Structure 1
Amino acid sequence: MTLPWALAGSAGVPGTDGAPGAGGASGPFTADDLSLALLVGSVVLVVAVAAVRLSVRSGLPSLLIYLGIGLALGESGLGIRYDSQELTQVLGYAALVLILVEGGISTQWAGIRRSVAPAAVLATVGVAVSVVVVAVVARLVLGWSWEVSLLIGAVVASTDAAAVFSVLRRVPLPRRISGMLEAESGFNDAPTVLLVTALASQLAPDGEGEPWWQVGIVAGLELAGGALVGLAVGWLGARLLRAVATTSSALFAIGVLSMAVLAYGAADLLHTSGFIACYLAALVLGNVSLPHRPSVMGFATAIGWLAQIGLFVLLGLLASPSGFAAQLVPALVVGAAVLLLGRPLSVIASCTPFRIPWRTQAFLSWAGLRGAVPIVLATVPVTAGTPGVEWMFDLVFVLVVVFTLIQAPTLPWVARALKVDAAHHRVDLAVEATPLTELGAELLEIDIGAASRLAGVRVFELRLPRGANVALVVRGGGSFVPRDVDVLRHGDQLLVVAPSAVRPAVERRLYQVSRGGRLAEWTAD
């Protein structure tokens, strides 16, 4: 079966002049084609949404399920033929922009403030260390040339924002660790894209070799320029959005996301890093006092999910299972080099100067999940004209699937074994409630973990700041409005309503009681 919409071969989609595309489709896009496209697309989205429950129960990132959907639709499944790496790269970059924007908007500065410096070093120096280590292993074990070894090291060096964000939603971690993982995954796409593009261009037939120090200087300047553009667009955009804010929360949410995407376009046109620009612009916009925050968060999350689903399904469509077997052994070698050598050494080199405990470093080493970013970057050498690297996409695809199956389900166990898991887990809720927005209130969800000393504490003993209250307790499949004398238990979920002004104090108090029990003193922590 060959669908007539956007699934042509490398020559592109059929044009409006009726010329046939490379995928065997011919003629212009018609209303009948639209009906089929909407049918297949909507079915994929419904299946993807339903698959989230399976992802939560299994502990696997949803990216594996979406990749599986793409494989099921592809040439070895329903027979949809799609082989355009150029289109995949363009759409992949667009999806990564939206994923980074969603990550920036949903990331709280207070949660990552202490982690920004080590995360930035991990996203730059750590990437360089990982590339060199993986290249050495690939050269010595697999016998590849140094150029190809460095290229594959760069392709698999970046952790994936979508995979990291999805896993962090389930693993209760202290703020410093989760903040470092969030910030690193937001930062490291930019240097990795620059490095892969530079190495692939040098390997192209018409490429000109440049000294490594020159490549490093150019990459540093592009990152710095992109960061300045992102911060400037975020700050100016916040002022502009406040001035033009309307009563329509939906329109305002569109404006916020558009401003963050604008940062990518502006930075890229200035020949700086668009990825770091859009992430930082979104981070600024998500942490200033803009109106309609719940709507902005809800819209950004929805767009982020849509981008993830579309990107992973597209990558699954592009993959050719017939080539997986030949790349299994090289993928295991490269993946093991990343997980057991490259990632730990990059964490040690980046985090030791900041005196980060070895337990935390060990967890960070295991939590460096790979996902869509390496697979998208595996298309860059082909589109750049690098000869003899067509196998790289299949290798990276197999690597991501195999090592995600190894790492993701074991992260909660590793966190407990290393004793770096948090006693309780706090999750922000995007509540579409106008009264809450007008009153300047926020709703927090608190999960009481197995090690938390919140269990056994009566509600009144929490001594929350004035104006904050436990509005609901969810326990054992039921829920109730708690009284002051009700006792909290392990496994309870609390809904806490708090004025925005005292939210930091509420969080501090909950962490104090979670660690010290009912006798925890009211002290800054």
Structure 2
Amino acid sequence: MAGLLTTAGGSATATAGQVALTFAEQMAVGAAVGLGGGWALKRFMQKVPLPNEGLYPLRTLAGAFVVYGTATAAHGSGFLAVFTAGILLGDARAPYKREIERFHAALSSLAEIVAFTLLGLSVPLGTFAAQGAWADGLILAALLVLVARPLAMAVLLWPLRLRAGERVFLAFAGLKGAVPILLGSFALSARLPHSQQMYDVVFVVVAFSVVVPGALVPTVARKCRIPMRAQELEPWALGVRLRDRPEGARRVVVEPGSPADGRAVGDLDLGEHVWVSLAIREGHLLPASGATRLEAGDEVLLLTDPEQARDPTGPFRP
């Protein structure tokens, strides 16, 4: 009997180790595919023109599908691959990037609406009490809000220079949304044991996160002395189409306490190869003349000589 138990225990340990190794391999393959696919898609976006500007957002969407499919075919994590590729493309300079960002922002909002709608339609509230989903979900949500996330954020934010109030706010404002719903739907569609109960628990956790921490975000921000302001809509945009990449264009924001804060454009030490071509204050255009006095928060468009080694943004930083 002892030998049998020992054999069973060893088999269970080996199985757990195999699962952990498989998970690590999937993550490694997904990260590798994401890095390679993101680099390839970046080069493709910068080098290959398309006949219509509406095709550029569709190209990035098709590229995400290709990266996901490649990682899945290689037995890797498709989600991690797309996430990694997205990080690489986020800071890349590419044609029609503003249109690409708007398209994917709208698509992301639509996907979240669909996910929450499907969550509400697929959760039978009558079975919650019988399966204990309310109690399990509330306990899990409380542990996430009060224990798990604060501890994780304390470790991750330890190297950063943040005030105590900023650390508390980041630890509190961890809202749950579409990703847990998507993962729960995978377990439900795979017909795993207790998948319906897990899906119900996900519903409770997401609902608790949206209703309780989500409603308290302004209050916690005020208590932690985190500045918040209402974001006004800016329906009008000024854009200029260029055939070649604007190498010398730089967009900067005047920071408080910088040499440009409170000074006229003509008094700034910008050098001979830097020109202030456009200034925006609170959504309004300013005349970019030498007598224009800049303030903190103003957005300034600079035209520079790309061959000059001097950083033109120095006067706009403290």
Which runs of structure 2 are paired with 1:13-32 in the superposition (5 Å)?
none
The answer to whether the 8 Å contact 1:468/1:506 transfers is no
Structure 1 unaligned residues grouped into runs of 5+: 1-207, 513-519, 521-525
Q: Are positions 1:274 and 2:82 aligned together?
A: no
Deviates more, 1:342-351 or 1:354-363: 354-363
Aligned residue for 1:379, secondary structure, equals helix
Deviation at 1:252, TM superposition (A): 2.6
Which runs of structure 2 are paired with 1:82-231 in the superposition (5 Å)?
211-231=15-35
Deviation at 1:417, TM superposition (A): 4.0
Q: Are positions 1:298 and 2:106 aligned together?
A: no
Which runs of structure 2 are paired with 1:320-399 in the superposition (5 Å)?
320-323=124-127, 327-352=133-158, 354=159, 357=162, 359=164, 360-399=166-205
1:471 aligns with one of 253, 257, 279: 279
The answer to whether the 8 Å contact 1:249/1:296 transfers is no
Q: Deviations over 1:97-138 (max 9, x none)?
A: xxxxxxxxxxxxxxxxxxxxxxxxxxxxxxxxxxxxxxxxxx
The answer to whether the 8 Å contact 2:115/2:182 transfers is no
Deviation at 1:266, TM superposition (A): 0.3
1:259 aligns with one of 24, 42, 63: 63
Deviation at 1:232, TM superposition (A): 0.7
Q: Deviations over 1:388-434 (max 9, x none)?
A: 442332232122122222223443554454456599x9x99996734
**Length-normalised TM-score, structure 1:** 0.47
| Residues 499/308 of structure 1: CA separation in 2 closer, same or farther (3 Å cut) | farther
Q: Deviations over 1:471-505 (max 9, x none)?
A: 33237xxx46357455748xxx7443345969x96
Q: Deviations over 1:13-51 (max 9, x none)?
A: xxxxxxxxxxxxxxxxxxxxxxxxxxxxxxxxxxxxxxx
Q: Deviations over 1:129-179 (max 9, x none)?
A: xxxxxxxxxxxxxxxxxxxxxxxxxxxxxxxxxxxxxxxxxxxxxxxxxxx
The answer to whether the 8 Å contact 1:371/1:400 transfers is yes
1:457 aligned residue: 262
1:433 aligns with one of 236, 239, 251: 239
Kindly indicate which of the two structures has a greater share of residues assigned to helix: 1
Distance 2:43 2:55 in 1: 16
Aligned residue for 1:310, secondary structure, equals helix
2:286 aligns with one of 459, 474, 481: 481
The answer to whether the 8 Å contact 2:254/2:295 transfers is no
Q: Are positions 1:237 and 2:41 aligned together?
A: yes
2:8 aligned residue: none
Distance 1:464 1:319 in 2: 63
Distance 1:214 1:430 in 2: 56
| Residues 247/379 of structure 1: CA separation in 2 closer, same or farther (3 Å cut) | closer
Amino acid at match of 2:33: V
Aligned residue for 2:275, secondary structure, equals coil
Deviation at 1:247, TM superposition (A): 4.4
Deviates more, 1:260-269 or 1:400-409: 400-409
Aligned pair count? 292
Aligned residue for 1:289, secondary structure, equals coil
The answer to whether the 8 Å contact 1:292/1:437 transfers is no
Deviates more, 1:280-289 or 1:316-325: 316-325
The answer to whether the 8 Å contact 1:471/1:495 transfers is yes
2:6 aligned residue: none
Deviation at 1:265, TM superposition (A): 0.8
1:60 aligned residue: none
Aligned residue for 1:271, secondary structure, equals coil
The answer to whether the 8 Å contact 1:260/1:279 transfers is no
Distance 2:67 2:235 in 1: 27
Distance 1:329 1:443 in 2: 54
Amino acid at match of 2:275: G
Max radius of gyration: which structure?
2
The answer to whether the 8 Å contact 1:298/1:430 transfers is no
Q: What is the root-mean-square deviation of aligned Cα atoms in Å?
A: 4.2
Which runs of structure 2 are paired with 1:39-78 in the superposition (5 Å)?
none
Structure showing greater relative contact order (alpha-carbon pairs closer than 8 Å, 6 or more residues apart): 1
The answer to whether the 8 Å contact 1:436/1:442 transfers is no
Aligned residue for 2:282, secondary structure, equals strand
The answer to whether the 8 Å contact 2:252/2:301 transfers is no
Identical columns (%)? 25
The answer to whether the 8 Å contact 2:277/2:303 transfers is no
Distance 1:285 1:434 in 2: 22
Amino acid at match of 1:329: A
1:310 aligned residue: 114
Which runs of structure 2 are paired with 1:492-503 in the superposition (5 Å)?
494-499=298-303
**Length-normalised TM-score, structure 2:** 0.72
2:7 aligned residue: none
Aligned residue for 1:471, secondary structure, equals strand
Aligned residue for 2:204, secondary structure, equals helix
Deviation at 1:347, TM superposition (A): 2.3
| Residues 481/227 of structure 1: CA separation in 2 closer, same or farther (3 Å cut) | same
Deviation at 1:470, TM superposition (A): 4.8
Structure 2 unaligned residues grouped into runs of 5+: 1-11
